[in-house]
């Protein structure tokens, strides 16, 4: 499934709607080049889950745990990881996150090829600038679900082309 996101607000809105189908224990792997909008999408997911604290892309923090905020209708904690500087799954394991990832949603930027082993079921979200419009604001987002559980969630997640 792929969708065109004309502005950053559309990317955040896409993240919010995606959050509606996400559950405890899920792993979402965000990929795309520098400045693609991975953090913007993570912000939308965080808003959809109703987590506390601003979802940002800090330079010196690799992982942050956002607790659900009851005032925002918080449903699940979100573990937000920036794996850019991490070598692989062993280093992600070594983070010793102060969170039970079985009870949280884990969102990993730059996670492709690094973290898939952490969860049997994961959702790849690829963001890119549409071909021919590299200078514009628009982005294209492509979802690929890995694992059998996704098919039943929403029709939108059923295909990966
Ligand atoms: N359609 C769009 N979707 C997402 N971001 C957009 C869009 N149009 C413009 N932008 C801008 O592109 C930038 C995306 O930055 P963001 O930090 O989300 O990217 P990133 O992929 O997380 O980068 P990094 O690789 O450094 O982590 C923001 O400044 C945002 O305002
Ligand atoms: Mg980022």
* Mean pLDDT, range 70-92, rounded to an integer: 86
In this prediction, residue 128 carries a pLDDT of: 95
In this prediction, residue 158 carries a pLDDT of: 45
Helices (H), 33-153: 38-49, 89-94
Q: Across all residues in the chain, what is the average pLDDT?
A: 87
Please state the atom number of ligand 1 nearest to the C-alpha of residue 138: 1
Edge-to-edge strand order for the sheet containing 63-66?
2-5, 139-146, 122-128, 27-31, 105-109, 78-82, 63-66
- Taking the alpha carbons of 88, 42, 21, 130 in that order, is the dihedral positive or negative? negative
Which residue's CA is minimally distant from atom 1 of ligand 1? 7
Burial of 125 from C-beta contacts in 10 A (0-12 / 13-18 / 19+): buried
pTM for the predicted model, two decimal places: 0.92
Neighbouring C-alpha atoms within 13 Å toward the C-beta of 22 = 33
Query: Cα–Cα distance between 26 and 29 in angstroms, integer?
Result: 10
34 CA from centroid of ligand 2 (Å): 7
Is residue 98 very low, low, confident or very high in pLDDT (cuts 50, 70, 90)?
Answer: low
- Residue of 30, 15, 43, 41 lying closest to 124 (CA atoms): 30
* Mean pLDDT, range 39-65, rounded to an integer: 91
In this prediction, residue 161 carries a pLDDT of: 42
Is the distance from the beta carbon of residue 107 to the nearest atom of ligand 1 less than 6 Å? no
Question: Between 133 and 105, whose confidence is greater?
Answer: 105
Q: Is the pLDDT of residue 152 over 60?
A: yes
46 CA from centroid of ligand 1 (Å): 15
Q: Is the pLDDT of residue 89 over 80?
A: no
Q: Is the pLDDT of residue 68 over 70?
A: yes
Residue with tokens 């679900």: 145
Q: What would the two tokens of residue 125 be?
A: 């979200």
22 CA from centroid of ligand 1 (Å): 22
- Residue of 110, 118, 123 lying closest to 149 (CA atoms): 123
């Amino acid at each position: 499934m792929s969708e065109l996101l004309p502005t950053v607000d559309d990317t955040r809105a896409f993240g919010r709607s995606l959050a509606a189908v996400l559950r405890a224990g899920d792993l979402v792997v965000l990929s795309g080049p520098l400045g693609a909008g991975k953090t913007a999408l993570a912000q939308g997911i965080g808003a959809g889950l109703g987590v506390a604290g601003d979802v940002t892309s800090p330079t010196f923090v690799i992982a942050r745990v956002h607790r659900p905020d009851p005032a925002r209708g918080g449903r699940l904690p979100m573990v937000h990881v920036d794996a850019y500087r991490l070598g692989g799954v062993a280093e992600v394991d070594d983070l010793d996150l102060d969170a039970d990832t079985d009870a949280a949603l884990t969102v990993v930027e730059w996670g492709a090829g690094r973290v898939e082993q952490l969860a049997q079921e994961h959702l790849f979200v690829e963001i890119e600038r549409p071909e021919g419009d590299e200078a514009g604001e628009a982005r294209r987002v492509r979802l690929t679900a890995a694992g059998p559980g996704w098919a039943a969630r929403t029709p939108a997640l059923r295909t990966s082309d």
